[in-house]
Amino acid sequence: MNEWLFTYFCVGLLSHVKIGTSIGINYGQIANNLPTPENVIPLVKSIGATRVKLYDADPKVLKAFANTGVEFTVSLGNEYLAKMRDPDCAKAWIKSNVQAYLPATKITCITVGNEVLTFNDTSLSGCLLPAMESVHTALVNLGLDKQVSVTTAHSLGVLGSSYPPSAGAFRKDLVDCITPILDFHVKTASPFLINAYPYFAYKGSPKQVSLDFVLFQPNQGIVDPASNLHYDNMLFAQIDAVYAALASLGYKKLLLHISETGWPSKGDEDEAGATPENAKKYNGNLIKLISSKKGTPMRPNCDLNIYVFALFNENLKPGPTSERNYGLFKPDGSPAYSLGISAVTAANTTVASPTPPALPDTSSGNDPDSGSGSTGYLSISSATKARYEFVGSVMLVLVFFLISLLL
């Protein structure tokens, strides 16, 4: 794509509303047609993102983003959990994948596994905390624990109840497993991560769920009968249900981050709501909320720490069509749809228009089917089915209660 056309596209994506707050973005790479990491930098900056989460520790990305000031979360896939229980393996991995890029690349967090507890795999879940502890111990021994935290991401399927939000609680069968993980977060001052997708609630019951409620559009909302708090969007209700679940176990002050949330711009015939228009409303309105520094009804003074999913459409992801169409950008760097936002730096100066991306690097090192980074993310993608089953079922329960209040 030539430069003027690319700039035109970016102006269309980033217009109308200025952003002055940190936004996080998930940068997945299950694709064979993405721009080189060097040409991804201006795209990240164009949406005002200062934090990036990888599903691996791709050396090409980490090298490219050196001295940019962008904060990085790197990840260990589920297939690494058993191995990472060995302190020597954890230390070797950190030396090669974290320490080697510091301080030029600002790596601030390591996620160990993804949605592990809702796989219902006891052997996998049994490795989670020991792996997290081993990785943290390695960071301590290398003198990096003050600048790099350790955590893991959970699906909303860890909740056993979510309505009303004030009655949010973890699944009873997971309490004994999740409590020591929460203790680890308190001890290490690391955040609790949740992947939250209101889209799945709408997809599961489009005739009953208010589309405006899930897309942050004007609507009458609902009132939590126990707390008397008013909710005008589903994501905030989901977040507060997690806050309530944490508080119910005695972890009221634990930091909560939303490690994934987004909306697909395309789907199969049975994937209701997966359109460019709805994706624009969801992500555009979400970014405006993040920019406004507005907290949830239960935590009005807490900034939203949210990572949008995802940076690119990824053509090799398995599963339904929606899985390949969560990106804000197409592989050629053009917007998947207009967000109606304008990115600005912390100094409130407009970010320069991105330069057009180069053609994808087709060398073996950038092949999504090769290398240690790709396998980790591919493993994580296999959680898609579990995400539908667990998150969908929990959210449908919430939705039916919400709708009953509106009637």
Distance CA 237, CA 7 (A): 37
Distance CA 179, CA 368 (A): 36
pLDDT of amino acid 293: 83
DSSP state string for 161-211: E-SSGGG-EE-HHHHHHHHHHHHHHHHHT--EEEE--HHHHHHH-TTTS-H
H helix or E strand, kind and range, residue 5: helix 3-13
pLDDT of amino acid 368: 27
Domain ranges in the chain are 23-157+169-205+253-342
Looking at the annotation, which residues are catalytic?
A: 115, 260
Q: Are 35 and 357 in contact (CB under 8 A)?
A: yes
Q: How far does CA 240 lie from the centroid of its chain?
A: 17
pLDDT of amino acid 340: 73
pLDDT of amino acid 342: 56
**pLDDT tens by residue, the chain, 407 residues:** 443 334 334 444 544 444 445 799 999 999 999 999 999 999 999 999 999 999 999 999 999 999 999 999 999 999 999 999 999 999 999 999 999 999 999 999 999 999 999 998 999 999 999 999 999 999 999 999 999 999 999 999 999 999 899 999 999 999 999 999 999 999 999 999 999 999 999 999 999 999 999 999 999 999 999 999 999 999 999 999 999 999 999 999 999 999 999 999 999 999 999 999 999 999 999 999 998 888 999 999 998 899 999 999 999 999 999 999 999 999 999 999 988 765 433 223 233 333 333 333 323 233 322 233 333 333 223 334 334 433 443 444 444 444 444 44
Distance CA 244, CA 296 (A): 12
DSSP state string for 86-110: SHHHHHHHHHHHTGGGTTTSEEEEE
Tell me the per-residue pLDDT of 148-175, one tens digit each, with 9 for 90 and over. Answer: 999 999 999 999 999 899 999 999 999 9
pLDDT of amino acid 21: 55
pLDDT of amino acid 248: 98
**23-157+169-205+253-342 CATH fold:** TIM Barrel (3.20.20)
Q: What is the pTM of this model?
A: 0.84
Distance CA 154, CA 386 (A): 11
| Amino acid identity, position 229 | L
